[in-house]
Amino acid sequence: MILLTLIVFLLLAGVVAWYSEAYGSHAPKWVAAISLCLAWIPLWPVLFSLELNSDQRWLINEVHDWIPRFNISAHLALDGLSLLLVILTLAMGLVAVLSAWKEIKKQTGFFYFNILWTLAGVVGVFCALDLFLFFVFWEVMLVPMYLLIAIWGYENRQYAALKFFLFTQAGGLLILLSICALVLLHYQQSGQLSFDYVDLLNHSLSKKASFWIMLGFVIGFAIKLPTIPFHNWLPDAHTQAPTAASVILAAVLLKTGGYGLIRFVLPLFPDAVQTVAPYVMAIAAISVIYGALMAFSQRDLKRVVAYSSVSHMGFVLLGCFALNAQAWQGAVMQMLAHGVSTSALFALVGAIQYRYHTRDLNELGGLWQTLPKLSAVGLFFVVASLGMPGLGNFVAEFLVLVGSFETYPWFTAMAASGLILAAVYSLMIAQKTFFGSLKLNAAVDFDTRETAMMLGMAVILIVMGLHPQPLIDIAQQTLAHFPSISMGAKP
């Protein structure tokens, strides 16, 4: 019941937050923040009794009846990978709420309702082991996110919200198609109609069938990740979304794509994955470089960060399809590190926008003179994003590159050049915003809430960079169960 409780709790908290607006426009944010803290309680027993070396596949495994007609059950389970991502979701959800603290003034109740429902949907995605249930959560988390962008976004919000929804919906339908095909082919072979992940792992599809089904999944997840050529929605959605929505989008929504690849595509289609791996690796390497180049050529600070996401998520794709344990660990680490560092950058841009009502790099400059705290923190996360050793992002990118180099040295070399480009755009952010001559009026620096939030994220990144082993161990709990695909073998 633990996971179901967690999801239902978040959903109920959303409803309470909406109604609490009747007691003043400040009530909803307190409800949201407190409920996000309380949401940890159901997970406590798991966190304290973590036995990583046991052969147990799932830390929590619960099955509830749902649609017996198709043998669909509400199968929720937690293993190392989903535990890490659920923790990320809850933590970054709190960051999102804190970063919206002063920014959102109108319709606060409905705003926090949407935030909590998005988070509930994402937690559901990370825990669902029934493919039908997974798909339901996958789609359901879109609606509140769409509303967040469409109602509280900036100038061009409606266009961006629509684009976001349409892209992901198209990917979602492809996933639905693939799920149906997979289930029916499995039914044909085994005579057992089941949407359950554990059952479907034992399928024995023909090569052709599994290739096409896998392609459907990969495209669906690649849209969410996003990779070239499906990345088009991301810059708009990120730029127009309110800060809190950007934080959630960057921290957890993009991760659902990477999670889907690791959880479903790799174990379900170990053979078919090998045939497409070279092409996907090429696309991933191009994504890394393209994202970095585009980031460099933007004027809008939020667009820079958005394109840097494309670049960073390229590493996740690279790690997934390098098909060895190291690269997979790197991909997981990259999802976590990117989740924290990019959320921090979005929160930072949000803080700047809140103070100066502009995100234009040409209008900013010299912030260090008036906002030393904000600028120092900003510099830290900019440096984290370019992959400075000692911070989480470095560990992640290093692991991905080491892993991929074994299998695809050329693509890896291409992707590695993305690191240099990352330094270029990251330093450009730092130079144009924090240094130089001051073009704007003075403003109030970070208050305690913002400082605490930012420092918290900085500490997480430092710990991830200096002592990543616990995280790797937890992730390994999942990855160890993967079918060993060509460990380091050349294709």
Partner 1 sequence: MSGIMGFYLPSVLITSTSLIVMLMAALKRTHLLTNLITTVGLSLALLVQLAQLGKAPYQTSLILFDGTTTLVSTLLILAAWLLSLFLFNWLQNLKDPKEEYYLLLLLSTQGALIVCASQHFASFFLGLEIMSLSLVPMIAYPGEDNQALEAGIKYLVLSAIASAFMLLAIAILYLYSGTLSIPELATKVPELLSSGNIINGCAIILLLVGITFKLSLVPCHLWVADVYEGAPVPTTALLATVSKVALFVVLLRLFMLGEWHNQTALINIIEVIAAASMIIGNLLALLQKNLMRLLAYSSIAHFGYILLAILALKPAIAISNVDTLANEAAITYLYAYLTTVVGIFLMLMLLPETHHIDQLKGLFWQQRCKAVVLTLLLLSLAGIPLTIGFIGKFYLTLVAVNAQLWWLLAALIIGSVMGLFYYLRIILVMIDQPESHSETEIITTHTQLLVMGVVILLVIGGGVFPSMVAELVKEMIGLTF
By CB under 8 A, residue 177 contacts partner 1: yes
Three-state SS for 128?
strand
Site for partner 1 in 85-124 (CB under 8 A): 106-107
Binding residue (CB under 8 A) for partner 1 from 112, 126, 165, 315: 165
Q: Which is nearer to partner 1, 92 or 174 (CB)?
A: 174
- Letters for 209-238 (x = contact with partner 1 by CB under 8 A, - = none) are ------------------------------
63 forms beta bridges with 75
**CB of 318 closer than 8 Å to CB of 415:** yes
By CB under 8 A, residue 188 contacts partner 1: yes
Write down the H helix ranges in 108-252. Answer: 108-127, 131-140, 142-152, 157-190, 197-200, 207-224, 233-240, 243-248
CB atoms within 10 A of CB 5: 13
What's the closest the beta carbon of residue 60 comes to partner 1, in angstroms? 23
Binding residue (CB under 8 A) for partner 1 from 77, 81, 136, 361: 136
Distance, CA of 261 to CA of 264 (rounded, Å): 6
Reading the block at residue 72, the tokens are 């669909």
Q: Which is nearer to partner 1, 126 or 394 (CB)?
A: 126
- Report the amino acid identity of residue 259: Y
Q: Applying CB under 8 A, what is the total number of residues that bind partner 1?
A: 38
- Candidate segments 140-148, 283-291, 295-303, 417-425, binder of partner 1 by CB under 8 A: 140-148
Q: Of 406, 420, 390, nearest to 328 (Cα)?
A: 406
By CB under 8 A, residue 187 contacts partner 1: yes
By CB under 8 A, residue 135 contacts partner 1: yes
Distance between alpha carbon 49 and the CA centroid of its chain, in Å?
Answer: 26
Site for partner 1 in 10-69 (CB under 8 A): 65-69
Three-state SS for 287?
helix
For 68, residues 6+ apart whose C-beta sits below 8 A from its C-beta are none
By CB under 8 A, residue 146 contacts partner 1: yes
Site for partner 1 in 330-389 (CB under 8 A): none
- Candidate segments 129-137, 198-206, 269-277, 365-373, binder of partner 1 by CB under 8 A: 129-137
For 118, residues 6+ apart whose C-beta sits below 8 A from its C-beta are 141, 144, 145, 148, 248, 253
By CB under 8 A, residue 158 contacts partner 1: yes
67 forms beta bridges with 72
**CB of 62 closer than 8 Å to CB of 4:** yes
- Candidate segments 166-174, 375-383, 426-434, 474-482, binder of partner 1 by CB under 8 A: 166-174
Binding residue (CB under 8 A) for partner 1 from 33, 46, 140, 428: 140
Q: Which is nearer to partner 1, 141 or 348 (CB)?
A: 141
- Report the amino acid identity of residue 337: A
By CB under 8 A, residue 147 contacts partner 1: yes
What's the closest the beta carbon of residue 23 comes to partner 1, in angstroms? 17
Furthest-apart CA atoms within the chain: distance in Å: 72
Q: Which is nearer to partner 1, 2 or 181 (CB)?
A: 181
Distance, CA of 465 to CA of 398 (rounded, Å): 11
Distance, CA of 242 to CA of 140 (rounded, Å): 20
What's the closest the beta carbon of residue 395 comes to partner 1, in angstroms? 37
Distance, CA of 97 to CA of 143 (rounded, Å): 18
Q: Which is nearer to partner 1, 157 or 338 (CB)?
A: 157
CB atoms within 10 A of CB 140: 16
**CB of 456 closer than 8 Å to CB of 241:** no
What's the closest the beta carbon of residue 128 comes to partner 1, in angstroms? 12
Q: Which class for 483: exposed (0-12), middle (13-18), buried (19 or more C-beta within 10 A)?
A: exposed
By CB under 8 A, residue 473 contacts partner 1: no
- Candidate segments 45-53, 185-193, 437-445, 455-463, binder of partner 1 by CB under 8 A: 185-193
Binding residue (CB under 8 A) for partner 1 from 52, 162, 423, 443: 162
- Candidate segments 92-100, 175-183, 279-287, 394-402, binder of partner 1 by CB under 8 A: 175-183
By CB under 8 A, residue 443 contacts partner 1: no
By CB under 8 A, residue 131 contacts partner 1: no
By CB under 8 A, residue 328 contacts partner 1: no
Reading the block at residue 275, the tokens are 């045939």
- Candidate segments 164-172, 294-302, 411-419, 434-442, binder of partner 1 by CB under 8 A: 164-172
What backbone phi and psi angles, to 5 degrees, belong to 443? -145, 175
65 forms beta bridges with 73
Binding site for partner 1 (CB under 8 A): 65-70, 106-107, 132, 135-136, 139-140, 142-143, 146-147, 150-151, 158, 161-162, 165-166, 169-170, 173-174, 176-177, 180-181, 183-185, 187-188, 193
